[in-house]
Amino acid sequence: MRKLKTLIMATAAASTFATAALAERGSDGNLNIAYWQAVSILNPYLSGGTKDIEASSLILDPLANYRPDGSMEPALATEIPTIENGGVSEDLKSITWKLRDDVVWSDGTPFTSADVVFSANYCLDPEGGCNAASNFADVESVEAVDEHTVKINFSVAKPFPYGPFVGATAPVIQEAQFKDCMGAKAPECTEANFGPIGTGPFVVDEFRANDVVTYKANENYRDPAQPAFATVVLKGGGDSAATTRSVLETGEFDYAWNVQVEPEVLDQMMAAGKGEIISAFGTSVERLMVQLTNPDPALGDKRATIEGGPHPFLSDKAVRQALSMAIDRDILVEVGYGPNGQVTCNVLPAPEIYASTANDACKTQDVEGAKALLDEAGWVPGSDGIREKDGVRLSILYQTSTNSVRQGTQALIKQMWQEIGVETELRNIDAGVFFGGDQSSPDTFQKFFADIEMYTNNFDGTDPEAYMGNWVCSEIPSPANQWIGNNMPRFCSEEYNALSAEMGKTASIEKRAELAKKMNDMLMQEYVIIPLIHRGRVSAASNTLGNVVLNPWDSELAFAEEWTRLD
């Protein structure tokens, strides 16, 4: 009986293969995707994390997506507007998108410019709590020029006007479905939030929040040959090692998102031969932030603020530089990241044209140099081998979020600093607390009540303007601004502010690159941010999947309609 069944299955598989060449919709059966963070909601504007945005990117499309190489590709639009083709106005204050006229929603109704206008208003509603609000920053109005043309007006000149509706964070939702869900009512529309009607390759079949999503192919998808898969199961939960194992070792899944496993364990899993690791480098950098103000608890309200005064020893540039020189970044990569990390000396490592080469000296560890630097600056070893000057000991509290790779990195760096006579106490904080902005918690990364903290940050899309703007004086977190701000080192330089302001006015890509590099070099040469590792996005894909390219600039599933089954 069983043999017969296998035979029938094999024949079925063979015929599937024959038709796959003709690329027919839904001919490749079922696709199993594993996310170790379970999906909570399918409305990306109300999502709680990357996993929700990626899960909804199978259903909803923006006007344009980023391709894996960082270039933009029109999705619901016919072309990318630029100054050259007249889509972006000369004064950089508006952008006009031409929409495809052959697109229908999965319920069969036509897609028009009214939906785009509605989506913008939905997110701009101040009571809605839309998490893509920064994509719509400075948007003054969105107007429908005609049925298939949309014009977005900005209140200031936008050298990079591709925030709204480019990438999976800000897709177009259907007006008919969401029109009663504006503002404060947004969270109440559970049905719409759990099953949005979209223009993407798949539609929701069943959604169990915080557990599993099942999709089926969208019968009305704009490309009649896509998607190749008839159904998709996106299962959440477990941990990264478990999801990776289910692709590489047991073969139960086809794709595992965000692999965070020690390199040697990964090698062993890959030895099973069922799949491989795919990686791509975006803009993520694991970095150390150096506290320039005094985090002494005795200061009370002035703790870790400019008013509290400079840090007892990290305000000395020689110490900061020595800390950076003492780190062997190659070892950090080898132990914690393997092929998924690269040594970097820049906080802005990509895209290519923005990457500076001025700081590459940090790639080699220089313990003797670091020691000499500290000696010269007057920091001499005390009786216990820890350096001190005027009664101030080089004793560092080093915090990060809880994660086994980070704890390994912490331990390694602690030992490297030990060698140059710096004492380190390690602390790890639950990620939800560390990255959460709870005002009452002393452990958030913004409050930074420590000497050094480590985490990864990056920026959306390919434009670094907002990212480099993180380190201007006004971004310094303090009680006055409810600790909101991204300038964790509390770095403040008029020169840097000026560069940042200039970038906001410059349209030419070469000029912008020059400015961004200058800002990066300034931060690096002051050693207020110590970059460690340029981290890749890493996922695991089964050998039987075809056309899978990891996309570091957009949702990993943004082009899942192109994926196929190989065997």
Partner 1 sequence: MLNYTLRRLLFAIPTLLVISFIIFVILDLAPGDPTGNLPLTIPAEVRAKIRESLGVGEPIHIAYFKWLRGFFVYEPLHWLDQIGITIGDPSERARIISYATRGPVFDLIMERIPQTLWVVGLSYVFGILIAVPIGVISAYKQYSWFDQLGTFISMVGFSVPTFFTGLLMIVIFSVQLQWFPSVYDTTLEVNSWDTFMLQVRQMVMPVTVLALYNASQISRFMRASMLDNLTQDYVRTARAKGMAEKVVVLTHVLRNSLIPVVTVIALGIPTIFSGAIITEQIFRVNGLGQLLIIGIQGSDFPLVQTLTFIFAILIVLFNLIADVIYGILDPRIRYD
Partner 2 sequence: MTDQAATTALGRPQRSLWGDVIRQFLKHKGGVAGLVIFLFIVFAVVFGPYIHTIDPQYLDIRNKNLGPTWEHPMGTDNLGRDGLAQVLSGGRVSLAVGIAAMALSLLLGTLIGILAGFFRKLDGPLMRTTDLFLALPILPLLLVIILLFRDTLRSAFGPETGIFLLIVFVIGITSWMNTARIVRGEVLAVKEREFVLAARSIGTGSLKTIGRHIFPNVLSPVMVSATLGIANAIITESALSFLGLGFPSDFPTWGRLLYDGANFMTLNPARVIWPGLAISLTVLSVNYIGDGVRDALDPRIRGR
Residues 276-335 that bind partner 2 (CB under 8 A): 297, 331, 334-335
Q: Which lies closer to partner 2 via its Cβ, residue 400 or residue 462?
A: 400
Q: Which lies closer to partner 2 via its Cβ, residue 395 or residue 543?
A: 395
Alpha-carbon span 228 to 75, nearest angstrom: 18
Q: Is 117 helix (H, G, I), strand (E, B) or coil?
A: helix
Q: How far is the CB of 342 from partner 2 (least distance, A)?
A: 18
Q: How far is the CB of 511 from partner 1 (least distance, A)?
A: 24
For residue 516, the cross-strand partners are: none
Quick one: what does residue 233 bind among partner 2, partner 1, none, with the CB cut-off 5 to 8 Å set by partner type?
partner 1
Q: Which lies closer to partner 1 via its Cβ, residue 68 or residue 129?
A: 129
Q: How far is the CB of 252 from partner 1 (least distance, A)?
A: 6
Alpha-carbon span 102 to 423, nearest angstrom: 65
How many Cα atoms within 13 Å fall on the side-chain side of residue 490?
A: 29
Note whether 426 binds partner 2 by CB under 8 A. yes
Q: Which lies closer to partner 2 via its Cβ, residue 273 or residue 378?
A: 273
Residue 129 near residue 183, CB atoms below 8 Å: no
* Binding to partner 2, residues 432-461 (CB under 8 A): 433, 441-443
Alpha-carbon span 134 to 157, nearest angstrom: 16
Quick one: what does residue 246 bind among partner 1, partner 2, none, with the CB cut-off 5 to 8 Å set by partner type?
partner 1
Beta strands 231-236 and 392-393 are unpaired
Question: Which own/partner pairs from 220-225 qualify as long-range (CB within 8 Å, at least 24 positions apart)?
Answer: 220/104, 220/105, 220/106, 220/107, 220/108, 221/25, 221/106, 221/561, 222/100, 222/102, 222/103, 223/561, 224/25, 225/23, 225/24, 225/25
Least Cα distance to 293 among 282, 301, 281 occurs for 301
Q: How far is the CB of 298 from partner 1 (least distance, A)?
A: 22
Q: How far is the CB of 212 from partner 1 (least distance, A)?
A: 6
Residue 534 near residue 552, CB atoms below 8 Å: no
Q: Which lies closer to partner 1 via its Cβ, residue 186 or residue 332?
A: 186
Q: Which lies closer to partner 1 via its Cβ, residue 221 or residue 455?
A: 455
Q: Which lies closer to partner 2 via its Cβ, residue 334 or residue 514?
A: 334
Quick one: what does residue 212 bind among partner 2, partner 1, none, with the CB cut-off 5 to 8 Å set by partner type?
partner 1
Alpha-carbon span 552 to 539, nearest angstrom: 11
Q: What is the DSSP string of 374-407?
A: HHHTT-EE-TTS-EEETTEE-EEEEEEES-HHHH
Quick one: what does residue 104 bind among partner 1, partner 2, none, with the CB cut-off 5 to 8 Å set by partner type?
none
Q: Of the listed pieces 141-149, 261-269, 343-351, 379-387, which binds partner 2 according to CB under 8 A?
A: 261-269
Q: How far is the CB of 443 from partner 1 (least distance, A)?
A: 6
Least Cα distance to 44 among 188, 182, 171 occurs for 171
φ/ψ of 308, rounded to 5, equals -70, -5
Q: How far is the CB of 39 from partner 1 (least distance, A)?
A: 9
Quick one: what does residue 335 bind among partner 2, partner 1, none, with the CB cut-off 5 to 8 Å set by partner type?
partner 2
* Binding to partner 2, residues 114-173 (CB under 8 A): none
| Amino acid, single-letter form, for residue 514 | E
Q: Which lies closer to partner 1 via its Cβ, residue 236 or residue 336?
A: 236
Residue 550 near residue 499, CB atoms below 8 Å: no
Alpha-carbon span 259 to 245, nearest angstrom: 10
* Binding to partner 2, residues 218-257 (CB under 8 A): 241
The site for partner 2, by CB under 8 A, has a size of 30
Least Cα distance to 323 among 225, 231, 452, 209 occurs for 452
Quick one: what does residue 261 bind among partner 1, partner 2, none, with the CB cut-off 5 to 8 Å set by partner type?
partner 2
Q: Is the peptide bond before 479 cis (omega within 30 degrees of 0)?
A: no
* Binding to partner 2, residues 1-40 (CB under 8 A): none
* Binding to partner 2, residues 471-490 (CB under 8 A): none
Least Cα distance to 351 among 68, 44, 57, 13 occurs for 68
Quick one: what does residue 407 bind among partner 2, partner 1, none, with the CB cut-off 5 to 8 Å set by partner type?
partner 2
Q: Which of 425, 474, 480, 509 lies at the binding interface for partner 2 (CB under 8 A)?
A: 425
Q: Which lies closer to partner 2 via its Cβ, residue 423 or residue 521?
A: 423
Q: Which of 143, 252, 262, 502 lies at the binding interface for partner 2 (CB under 8 A)?
A: 262
Q: How far is the CB of 391 from partner 2 (least distance, A)?
A: 19
Quick one: what does residue 318 bind among partner 2, partner 1, none, with the CB cut-off 5 to 8 Å set by partner type?
none
Q: What is the DSSP string of 28-94?
A: T-EEEEEESS----S-GGG-SSHHHHHHHTTT---SEEE-TTS-EEESSBSS---TTTTSB-TTSSE
Q: Which residues of 258-276 are buried (b: 16+ CB within 10 A; e: fewer)?
A: bbbbbbeebeebbeeebbe
* Binding to partner 2, residues 365-424 (CB under 8 A): 401-402, 404, 407-408, 410-412, 414-415
* Residues within the interface to partner 2 (CB under 8 A): 241, 261-262, 264-265, 268, 297, 331, 334-335, 401-402, 404, 407-408, 410-412, 414-415, 425-430, 433, 441-443
